[in-house]
Amino acid sequence: MKLLFHLGRLIQIATPLNLAEYPEIIPGTIMLFFQIAMYLVFRVALKATFKKAGRPMKGDPLLGVSCLTAVVFVLALSPFSSSWLVFISLVTCYILIVRSLFSIGEQLGDTGYMLTNAPVRISNEAFSWTYFIVALAIMMLCNAFSNHLRLEPQEYSRPATTEARQQLLGMGFSAEALRYLSDEDVTMLGGAVDVASFSKLLMFDARRVEQVEHRVVYGGGETYTSHTYKPGKKNIEATTVYIEMPGKVVYVMQYFFWKGGRPIWQDGILISGEPGMLDRQIVSSCLFFSKGGKEYTAPFPRLACEQITHNSMFGPCYSVMIRGALPWPLERLPGSTENWKARQIDKNWIKQGKIKLSKIRNN
């Protein structure tokens, strides 16, 4: 039953069901009942074994294990589950559970009995490989048919050069990123006070290069070895543009595109900022593709800005992150059969805090 439940969880993870909102207590409660039921059934069999051997059983370890398992479940779901006191209590419960289970084996050894595998027709190795192949097939089929995000691309025409665009370009706005900024966003950025642009090459298959330098020090020689990295074939160039506006408001634009290499099936992005910046919102976002000499645009299929809770021994802490997923476009569009090259743009804003990655307003 537990294996069937795990297969159901695999289907839930590999399909859009993982986005559905449902109480996490339901699967946890089901697994708790299964676990306690197994302990109680084993407890009945264990008592019968000791009775047959004519020896009294010291204590009732499996009943204690069942109670401790229920206590662990309640503590894990309690509002204080992230505190260090509850953490110590959970560790103590697990230690007691392990000690109780070990004591069963020691008592069985005194009676002349020992735990052995049940005689079955299917070997453990065959059963394990069968379950692995079934689980792998479920994951592959579910991902192939339901977990690839669909795009709705439209042909894209670059906006005409305007005085507002020339002003941003003259202030240091990235020319490549400005080409994919809509007229509405350019109007919103009118009256900018200052612009700063920074680019970084993200290398996914960087080549490590060793550099050896010989120096003469006080008549002797010393050798210094250092390492640098050179880009390989798979790289993404990421550009961040900060636009300072009147009234202590800052817009930040993230622009990134593949520079060698290509996406594989589906990629994810994560943009984080200062932990104290909790008031953050996405202004606009878009994907851009080129194929056959033509350019296309499509909305981000999955993009969210939400508060994330991080639990630690000292309590929860909160941060707002922008998370997104974008697929490799599989749609057949007019044009040649050249490979696609993807460009993605997203912009967002934050109230209060240091300039990190978005639009910031200091009151």
Q: Are residues 187 and 211 in the same domain?
A: yes
Q: Residue with structure tokens 């499996």?
A: 62
CB distance 175 to 166 below 8 Å = no
Pairing outcome for strands 359-361 and 341-351? parallel
d(CA 328, CA 265): 5
- Which burial class, exposed, middle or buried, applies to 237 when counting CB atoms under 10 A from its CB (0-12, 13-18, 19+)? middle
Q: How is residue 38 annotated by DSSP?
A: H
Q: Are residues 28 and 164 in the same domain?
A: no
Of the CA atoms within 13 Å of residue 85, those in its CB half-sphere come to 3
The tokens for 168 are 């941003």
Q: What is the pLDDT of residue 358?
A: 41
Q: Are residues 167 and 117 in the same domain?
A: no
Virtual CA dihedral for 264, 149, 181, 195, nearest 10 degrees?
-60
CB distance 318 to 308 below 8 Å = yes
Q: Are residues 309 and 188 in the same domain?
A: yes
The tokens for 251 are 């817009």
Q: What is the pLDDT of residue 18?
A: 67
| Cα dihedral 284, 289, 295, 299 sign | negative
Q: Are residues 88 and 184 in the same domain?
A: no
Q: What is the pLDDT of residue 337?
A: 29
d(CA 149, CA 336): 23
Domain carrying residue 181:
154-361
Q: What is the pLDDT of residue 22?
A: 62
Beta strands in 108-206 (DSSP E): 154-155, 194-203
Q: Are residues 257 and 300 in the same domain?
A: yes
Q: What is the pLDDT of residue 220?
A: 64
Q: How many domains does the chain have?
A: 2
**Among 99, 119, 146, which residue terminates a domain?**
146
CB distance 257 to 334 below 8 Å = no
Q: Are residues 187 and 282 in the same domain?
A: yes
Please identify every stretch of the chain with a pLDDT value under 50, giving residue numbers as ranges.
331-363
Q: Are residues 173 and 124 in the same domain?
A: no
**Among 108, 123, 146, which residue terminates a domain?**
146
Q: Residue with structure tokens 């996490």?
A: 24
Q: Are residues 67 and 184 in the same domain?
A: no
Q: Are residues 173 and 126 in the same domain?
A: no
Beta strands in 40-172 (DSSP E): 154-155
The number of beta carbons lying within 10 Å of the beta carbon of residue 225 is: 8
What residues does 325 pair with on adjacent strands? 268, 302
d(CA 19, CA 118): 40
**Among 99, 115, 146, which residue terminates a domain?**
146
Q: What is the pLDDT of residue 68?
A: 92
239-257: burial string, b at 16+ Cβ within 10 Å, e else: bbbbbbbeeebbbbbbbbb
Q: Which of 357, 218, 346, 344 is nearest to 290 (CA)?
A: 344
Virtual CA dihedral for 170, 171, 177, 182, nearest 10 degrees?
-90
d(CA 53, CA 111): 6
Residues contacting 24, CB < 8 A, separation 6+: none
- Number of residues that make up the chain: 363
d(CA 152, CA 298): 6
Q: Are residues 137 and 214 in the same domain?
A: no
Q: Are residues 239 and 162 in the same domain?
A: yes
d(CA 238, CA 269): 12
